């Protein structure tokens, strides 16, 4: 029996909630995570029509990219679509789960999916986040080092890009004098001890801090474990906004616009002057991406594909780059596939549906 919390736990490991933006409201918005899962509807937006669909398809979980509750709700009287959606979901025991900016911000998330649709190669995060990495330094008796290290690696420490089990160690001697009620694993009370130890250093995502320290304490043979945690200012290339990559073969700007229309299902592209002769380097961001224009220019991309550009913001391209606004929904519509595929990797047998509702509120005349 799969519970709603099993789905949440799995998605939280893939797109850690710690990576959502401060203004966001990702996570479980309605429902009981202890309920047995009957089925999942995957959608970009959770609307009343999607809740109706869940009822009809007997699915008690909706996974949406955009959180239907974004700001605080002070009343629940059904006066607007948000309140009506929530009330209907609660009345029908439907869990609404949002996986929003945490999914935007992971390197294998929303933007990677768009990059894949455009067949881009050598993709990297456009604006990596700082302040998301921590370094652990600890001192382990030489004989116990491998055992403790393997536990730390298992807990998620020592991953750098495509490399796992990364660590550094150097041998030296540690000293200690057990006093009071000490019950030392090595040596005896009242006697100065000199032990051959490894100084071990490894890096891990800051949100795992409690877990890593707990694992260190339980795996380390000493009663008192000496360790330091240092929060790092390093950029984390696994987490951040937007993405940049290359087309396998460059194309001219009009070919590129047609290519985008086909590959990303965009009916209309609002773009700036076609100032580049050839398009090779492509920056992109699903959703509202005007905040990344400077980064796209700085990395010398030829085109920046996103949604929600405002009139005055188009001027900021200053002929350095072509802005191509394909629409918020259009840029993020493949997020449904992303979530669906991720869930299928782990849960082969659950009832899993794409919504049949077109939740895009924008039509083109």
In angstroms, rounded to a whole number, what is the distance separating the alpha carbons of residues 214 and 121? Answer: 39
Computed from CA positions of residues 258, 259, 262, 268, in that sequence, does the dihedral angle turn out positive or negative? negative
DSSP secondary structure letter of residue 281: E
205 binds Zn ion (CB under 5 A): no
Shortest distance, position 59 Cβ to Zn ion, whole Å:
22
Instruction: Please report, as residue ranges, which positions from 222 to 261 form the binding site for Zn ion (by CB under 5 A).
Output: none
Instruction: Please report, as residue ranges, which positions from 306 to 345 form the binding site for Zn ion (by CB under 5 A).
Output: 332
Shortest distance, position 40 Cβ to Zn ion, whole Å:
19
Contacts with Zn ion by CB under 5 A: the residue count is 4
Shortest distance, position 64 Cβ to Zn ion, whole Å:
10
Residue number with the smallest Cβ distance to Zn ion: 287
List phi, psi (to 5°) of 36.
-70, 135
Shortest distance, position 227 Cβ to Zn ion, whole Å:
37
- Listed as own residue / partner, the contacts of 266-271 with beta carbons closer than 8 Å and 24 or more positions apart are 266/326, 266/327, 266/330, 266/331, 267/330, 267/364, 268/326, 268/327, 268/364, 269/324, 269/325, 269/326, 270/309, 270/314, 270/324, 270/325, 271/322, 271/323, 271/324, 271/325
Shortest distance, position 270 Cβ to Zn ion, whole Å:
17
Q: Which helix H or strand E contains 88, and what residues bound it?
A: helix 81-91
Nearer to Zn ion, 245 or 286 (CB): 286
Nearer to Zn ion, 59 or 114 (CB): 114
287 binds Zn ion (CB under 5 A): yes
Nearer to Zn ion, 50 or 152 (CB): 50
CB of 232 within 8 A of CB of 262?
no
Nearer to Zn ion, 219 or 296 (CB): 296
Name the segment binding Zn ion (CB under 5 A); options: 87-95, 98-106, 233-241, 254-262. 98-106
Nearer to Zn ion, 42 or 148 (CB): 42
Burial environment of residue 206 by CB neighbours within 10 A (0 to 12, 13 to 18, 19 or more): middle
In angstroms, rounded to a whole number, what is the distance separating the alpha carbons of residues 78 and 228? Answer: 52
Shortest distance, position 286 Cβ to Zn ion, whole Å:
5
Nearer to Zn ion, 330 or 332 (CB): 332
295 binds Zn ion (CB under 5 A): no
Burial 335-364 (b: 16+ CB within 10 A, else e): bbebbbebbeeebeebebeebebebeeeee
Residue with tokens 């990344």: 292
In angstroms, rounded to a whole number, what is the distance separating the alpha carbons of residues 93 and 116? Answer: 36
104 binds Zn ion (CB under 5 A): yes
Per-residue tokens: 313: 């913001």
53 binds Zn ion (CB under 5 A): no
Nearer to Zn ion, 60 or 85 (CB): 85
Shortest distance, position 18 Cβ to Zn ion, whole Å:
17
Name the segment binding Zn ion (CB under 5 A); options: 31-39, 103-111, 122-130, 152-160. 103-111
Name the segment binding Zn ion (CB under 5 A); options: 172-180, 193-201, 230-238, 287-295. 287-295
Q: Which helix H or strand E contains 279, and what residues bound it?
A: strand 279-288
CA neighbor of 250 nearest in space, from 288, 277, 269: 277
In angstroms, rounded to a whole number, what is the distance separating the alpha carbons of residues 158 and 167? Answer: 6
Shortest distance, position 165 Cβ to Zn ion, whole Å:
32
Shortest distance, position 63 Cβ to Zn ion, whole Å:
14
Name the segment binding Zn ion (CB under 5 A); options: 27-35, 217-225, 256-264, 285-293. 285-293
Name the segment binding Zn ion (CB under 5 A); options: 206-214, 248-256, 282-290, 348-356. 282-290
Residues that bind Zn ion in the complex, under the rule CB under 5 A: 104, 286-287, 332
């Amino acid at each position: 029996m799969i519970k709603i919390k099993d789905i949440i736990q799995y998605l939280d490991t893939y797109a850690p909630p710690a990576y959502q933006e401060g203004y966001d409201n990702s996570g479980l918005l309605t429902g009981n995570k202890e309920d047995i899962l009957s089925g999942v509807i995957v959608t970009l937006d959770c609307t009343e029509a999607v809740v109706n669909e869940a009822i009809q398809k007997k699915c008690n979980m909706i996974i949406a990219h955009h959180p239907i509750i974004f700001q605080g709700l002070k009343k629940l009287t059904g006066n607007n679509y948000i309140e009506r959606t929530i009330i209907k979901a609660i009345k029908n025991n439907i869990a609404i789960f949002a996986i929003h900016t945490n999914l935007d911000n992971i390197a294998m998330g929303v933007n990677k999916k768009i990059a894949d649709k455009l067949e881009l190669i050598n993709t990297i995060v456009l604006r990596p986040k700082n302040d998301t990495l921590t370094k652990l330094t600890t001192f382990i008796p030489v004989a116990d080092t491998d055992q403790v290290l393997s536990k730390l690696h298992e807990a998620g420490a020592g991953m750098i890009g495509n490399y796992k089990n990364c660590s550094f160690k150097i041998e030296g001697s540690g000293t200690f004098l057990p006093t009071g009620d000490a019950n030392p694993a090595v040596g005896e009370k009242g006697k100065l001890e000199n032990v051959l130890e490894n100084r071990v250093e490894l890096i891990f995502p800051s949100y795992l801090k409690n877990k890593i320290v707990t694992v260190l304490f339980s795996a380390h043979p000493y009663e008192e474990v000496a360790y330091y945690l240092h929060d790092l200012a390093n950029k984390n290339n696994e987490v951040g906004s937007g993405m940049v990559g290359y087309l396998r073969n460059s194309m001219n700007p009009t070919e590129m616009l047609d290519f985008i229309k086909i590959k990303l299902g965009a009916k209309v592209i609002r773009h700036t002057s076609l100032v580049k002769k050839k398009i090779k380097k492509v920056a992109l961001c699903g959703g509202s991406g005007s905040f990344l224009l400077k980064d796209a220019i700085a990395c010398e991309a030829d085109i920046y594909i996103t949604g929600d550009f405002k009139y005055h913001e188009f001027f900021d391209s200053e002929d350095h780059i072509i802005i191509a606004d394909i629409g918020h929904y259009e840029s993020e519509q493949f997020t449904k596939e992303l979530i669906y595929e991720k869930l299928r990797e782990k849960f082969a047998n659950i009832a899993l549906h794409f919504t049949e509702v077109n939740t895009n509120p924008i039509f083109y005349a």
